[in-house]
Structure 1
Amino acid sequence: MATLIGGDAMAEGRADSPIVGRALGLVRNHPGVARMSAADGFLVRDAIVDADGTEHVRFDRTYNGLPVIGGDLVVHSKNGQFKSASITQQTGLNLSTRPAIKADEAVISAGAEFGSDFAGSPDASLAVYARGRGAARLAWRVRLYNQSADMTYIVDALNGKILERWSNLHTAAAAGTARTLYSGSVPLVTNSVTGGYELRDPSRGGLFTIDGSNSRTAGQVYKDSDNTWGSYATSDAATAAVDAQYGASVTWDYYKTIHGRNGIANNDKGSYSRVHYGRRYGNAYWSDACFCMTYGDGDGVAIGPLVSLDITGHEMSHGVNSHTANLIYSGESGGLNEANSDILGTMVEFHANNPQDTPDYMVGEETILANVAGSPNQQALRFMFNPSADGRSPNCYAGNLGSLDVHYSSGIGNFFFYLLAEGTSAKTFSGVNHAPRTCNGTTFGGIGRNKAAKIWYRALSVYFTSSTGYAGARAATIQAAKDIYGATSAEVTAVARAWSAVKVN
């Protein structure tokens, strides 16, 4: 949990740690760099210490007690000496916190766009909106949701105008055996209970899978008498469940083995998956509200259950983002949010190296039942080595990128990562030719997946902030490469070269 620290008093908990205390002192000593005002407070989100003692402390900002959207920052220091800060807020805050419109008026403004079929009681709370280059605004943060949508609207608290909106659904102890839909026969760690076993993994923070359908067993953890799960077919409801559970366990292992991260929130606690959601629901999503992944079964015609390895890794990586940079799901930061999940979900697939779901740079290809893009041997939801193959995503950066749907603007980040890792030479993955063409006509070799992933993850966890765009991502990944491999390393040159190849300069 984040702990509020501000003014002269230090709250109990994480705020008492020497690391956080030092970082807060540096914020106070560098108010201009932190864009700090007298009314600011700070919430500790995360703290990372490098092997050489460099400290990175991530704060969320408040203003007169209100959360500041886009006000987060990361303080970087060593031996108590300030090095730099990662921040996107443009100026210090100076505004009234008295709204001109009431919460129910803000809900009406948001509801006019969302529709009248929202579920439950609308949630509206005051915040300061500090994204973008204009002056910060007092705003109502309104959440509206129903079975198929969960939206946040930022409504100007002076005139009721919607300033921004984004989706909150980030869409895509016993030894058991799972007969999965996409990954063949795989081992699973399950939990012994009276009468058999349940689909819960005590060795990985207790992560578990439930029935998310409208059946009488909905909401229950899957159970089995003989610890052999699924039948390789959708006719057995447990099959998709073990795909989701297997994907979650592989994702856990990837983050722990490669990045030293213990679970989504880095607190050794497992999330959970719910499968068979909705009716003919052709999507999957992560939700912070439940700390869980949700998977639909698809329509059975164009797309099947969305529980393949890269999709489970994708959804759980949305959770990792929410507990690190927390990239806002709108504009260029939203595109980076989706790219982050495609990138790290793909690295989960490579880490698993499953012979039935061989790794590649296509997203969700196992779930496609009918040709939806490209030639018959290139069916996928997205193509990291050639984003434009889906007919909607750009390969090259342009100034209007932030106006695209985040699933399409992610193409720039996806293409950058592919070029950084693999270079420009034609390669074959899963029997499909991956032959990229750069936007500036350059050709070069890659640095390898492991190096590229380490650079990306460090940028995400140490340097990205909630409003980082593509220019900021370039700077952050270059700095991350310098941290890991040295300021004059070939890896730093490669990162800059790969961004230039997608026209992010």
Structure 2
Amino acid sequence: MSRIRPHVRGSRRLATTAGAAVTTATLLTAALSPAAHADPRPTRATAIQNAASALPAQAANLGLTSAENTSVRDVIVDKDGTQHVRYDRTYHQLPVLGGDFVVHLAPDGGYRGANRATRSPISLASIIPRIAAPKAADLAVNALRAVHLGDALKKITARPELIVDALHGTPRLAWRTNAAGRDSLGNPVARTVLTDARTGAQIDAWDSIETAAGDGKSLYSGTVPLDTTPSGSSYQLKDPTRGNTYTGDAQGKTDTCVLTICIGRAPAALFTDADNHWGSGTTADRASAAVDAQYGTDMTWDYYKNVQGRNGIAGDGKGSYNRVHYGSKYNNAFWDDSCFCMTYGDGDGTTFGPLVALDVAGHEMTHGVTAKTAALTYSGESGGLNEATSDILGTMVEWYADNPSDPGDYLIGEKIVKSGFGKPALRFMDKPSKDGNSADYWSSSVGNLDVHYSSGVANHFAYLLAEGSGPKTINGVAYDSPTYKGSTVTGIGRDKVGKIWYRALTVYMTSSTNYAGARTATLNAAKDLYGAGSTEYNAVAAAWSAVNVN
């Protein structure tokens, strides 16, 4: 998760007694109905077993040798029984960056093909590093300090991990080091640094804090319903219908750990309330921000489950948790996969308000979905796609919620910006360059941009695919989306865009996917969903061409 620069990023996510009764009745009806039958599709376990059976025969095609082992990261089973099993790999028990691949299987379990992050065979002369771990740690700390010049960082820690880097050309032994510390306000900063374990040269580096963010009166979304948990004579802001997701108060404290570097974690005291009516809709009541956070989690959970068929961020039905009021005037929100939690700062009041807006929540928790699926590396073009995935699907969450106080739009973070920011939103999907930094179109240098700005190419693609080119007003917001050579694009609607992008992410993209690969992945997804040569398939091709990805 990275600092807002300017951005909110790395990345999960309420009802009355009557609502609960309806849910129970529905479940009982389904259980008693003679039409209710067991799902004929293969189970997750069956898909894993089928993929495992296929691996020995496909080892050469997948670049697997006796020195390598695999582990399952994610499983997708389509309605027709087609199976997609995603793997990570190790080489002599060392994690392989860029070693991930997806095996595709027919409904009967037969092998159909695979997508690999990289194709270079792995054969190292030695797995003994010439650069010692303490030296790699020092290099990473220096890299962290270099991007925070002028800020006296405190409590810096670094933890090197020996890996094989297959993502940046010929596979080589490398140190992947997470360096973390606190800035002058006590807020967390972190950077992952990839170092050649033979020479000490820096291979790559990226921010490793993925940034962006009864009933309750929220700051941004009006009065919203909340499913809570009775506890004695009061209620907990904990949702038993969504994996026990809950929201707690960090009380201005920060972590002494970031990601894998942990000494202790800032507490998040679970919010409780006597009458199950939460917040006042103003910052004077600390529960108001908690209402926004819990509501954002709810809507994100519901979007992924009801639209994409994904049961929770990790697909395992388990809820995440939220921490609000984190740090001191912290201008950020982030998803942290190590705690499976969302963290929100209150903003400085001049540039940003509390960063608990609905599209921020959807954005950040989508980083969690990406981490559990394609795990797009947070650097270069794949990093831009990582960020764009959170913008695109986070925007879909906002449209899905259909909240009159925060209607759907193609602006990112419009609710949290203050006059001191100088723009009405963080990013603009119809014309990303309106933020002054983002790219409207692909070029050979786009991967050199900060990932929050290289994401513009995919954001622009998604807007064009949903709404088409040219001027229009949607939900009271005026848009005017250009194209690379003045081509005309006709939109297919945002619902189809969300489904195409999600399938591309979870079935075809890998850690190394670049913009050319994203074009292929989304075309494959459109073909699966709507057919080769369909209107949707052709629109995907046209929208990519309109942002110069051919």
Task: Supply the distance in 2 between the matched residues of 1:267 and 1:120 (Cα, whole angstroms).
Answer: 34
Q: Distance in 1 between matches of 2:427 and 2:539?
A: 24
1:294 pairs with one of 314, 321, 343: 343
Give the residue type in structure 2 aligned to 1:29.
A
- Which stretches in structure 2 are left out of the alignment for 5+ residues? 1-42, 146-151, 182-186, 255-265
Aligned residues of 1:373 and 1:390 also touching (Cα < 8 A): no
Residue 497 of structure 2 corresponds to: 452
Quote the residue 1:366 is aligned against: 415
Q: 2:35 maps to which residue?
A: none
Name which of structure 1's ranges 70-79 and 115-124 shifts more when overlaid on structure 2.
115-124
Pairing 1:232–2:281 present: yes
* Residues 168 and 287, structure 1, Cα contact 8 Å, conserved in 2: no
Question: Separation in 1 of the partners of 2:401 and 2:378?
Answer: 28
Paired AA for residue 451 in structure 1: K
Partner amino acid for 1:71? G
Q: Does 1:187 align with 2:217?
A: no
How much has 1:90 moved relative to structure 2?
A: 2.6
2:248 — aligned with what? 210
How far the C-alpha of 1:121 sits from its partner, in A, is 5.0
Residue 101 of structure 2 is aligned to residue 73 of structure 1: yes
| In structure 2, distance between residues paired with 1:264 and 1:352 | 17
Distance 1:190 1:62, change over 3 A: same
For 2:401 and 2:93, the matched residues in 1 are separated by 45
Q: Secondary structure at the match of 1:19?
A: helix
Question: Matches of 2:433 and 2:449 in 1, distance apart?
Answer: 13
Which residue does the alignment assign to 1:142? 177
- Counterpart pick for 1:489 among 522, 534, 547: 534
CA–CA distance in structure 1, aligned partners of residues 197 and 49 of structure 2: 34
Aligned: 1:87 with 2:116: yes
Paired AA for residue 159 in structure 2 = D
196-205 vs 21-30, greater mean Cα deviation: 21-30
How many angstroms does 1:167 deviate by?
Answer: 2.1
Give the match for residue 6 of structure 1: none
Number of positions where the alignment pairs a residue of Structure 1 with one of Structure 2: 483
Give the aligned residue type for 1:297: D
CA RMSD after TM alignment: 1.8
Q: Distance in 2 between matches of 1:300 and 1:143?
A: 31
- Equivalent runs, 1:276-295 vs 2, <5 Å: 276-295=325-344
Matched, 1:260 2:309: yes
The sequence identity of aligned pairs, in percent, is 51
Q: Which moves more between the two structures, 210-219 or 352-361? A: 210-219
- What is the CA distance between 1:47 and its match in structure 2? 1.5
Deviation at 1:297, TM superposition (A): 1.0
CA offsets per residue over residues 339-395 of structure 1, 9 Å max, x none? 000001100000011101111000010112216455xxxx00000111000000010
Aligned mates of 1:319, 1:139 — CA distance in 2: 25
Partner of 1:442: 487
Tell me the residue number matched to 1:12.
Answer: none
Match of 1:469 among 504, 514, 533: 514
- 1:424-439 mapped onto 2 (5 Å cutoff): 424-439=469-484
Q: Which has the higher contact order (CA 8 A, sep 6+)?
A: 2
Pair 1:316 & 2:368 matched: no
Looking at structure 2, the residues matched to 413 and 27 of structure 1 have their Cα atoms a distance apart, in angstroms, of 33
TM-score when normalising by structure 2 = 0.85
The whole-number CA distance in structure 2 between the counterparts of 1:419 and 1:451 is 12
Deviations 1:222-270 (A, max 9, x none): 1111111111111111111111111110111111110111111011111
Corresponding letter in the other structure for 1:461: T
Q: Aligned in 2, Cα 1:418/1:371: closer, same or farther, shift over 3 Å?
A: farther
Cα distance between partner residues in 1 of 2:44 and 2:394: 36
Please report how far the alpha carbon of residue 166 of structure 1 lies from its aligned counterpart in structure 2 after TM superposition: 1.9
- Partners in 2 of 1:84 and 1:155 — Cα distance? 33
Q: Distance in 1 between matches of 2:459 and 2:361?
A: 17
Matched, 1:61 2:89: yes
User: How far apart are the structure 1 equivalents of 2:432 and 2:220?
Assistant: 24
- CA offsets per residue over residues 288-338 of structure 1, 9 Å max, x none? 111111111111012111111100000110111111111111111111010
Normalising by structure 1, report the TM-score. 0.92
**Which residue, 140, 157, 160 being the options, matches 2:197?**
157
Is this contact kept in 1: 2:141–2:158, CA < 8 A?
no
Provide the secondary structure at the position in 2 that maps to 1:141. Answer: strand
What is the aligned counterpart of 1:19 among 40, 47, 70?
47
Q: What CA distance in whole angstroms lies between the structure 1 residues aligned with 2:444 and 2:44?
A: 44
Equivalent position amino acid for 1:82 in 2: Y
Provide the secondary structure at the position in 2 that maps to 1:160.
Answer: coil
CA distance in 2: counterparts of 1:45 and 1:235, whole angstroms: 43
Cα pair 1:170 1:287 within 8 Å, conserved:
yes
Residues 156 and 481 of structure 1: CA distance in aligned 2, closer, same or farther (over 3 Å): same
Q: Distance in 2 between matches of 1:199 and 1:250?
A: 15
CA distance 1:373–1:391, change in 2 (3 Å): farther
Q: Which sections of structure 1, spanning at least 5 residues, go unmatched?
A: 1-14
Which residue does the alignment assign to 2:295? 246
Q: CA deviation at 1:101?
A: 1.6
- Cα distance 1:143–1:118, how it changes in 2: closer, same or farther (>3 A)? farther
Q: Who is 1:270 aligned against?
A: 319
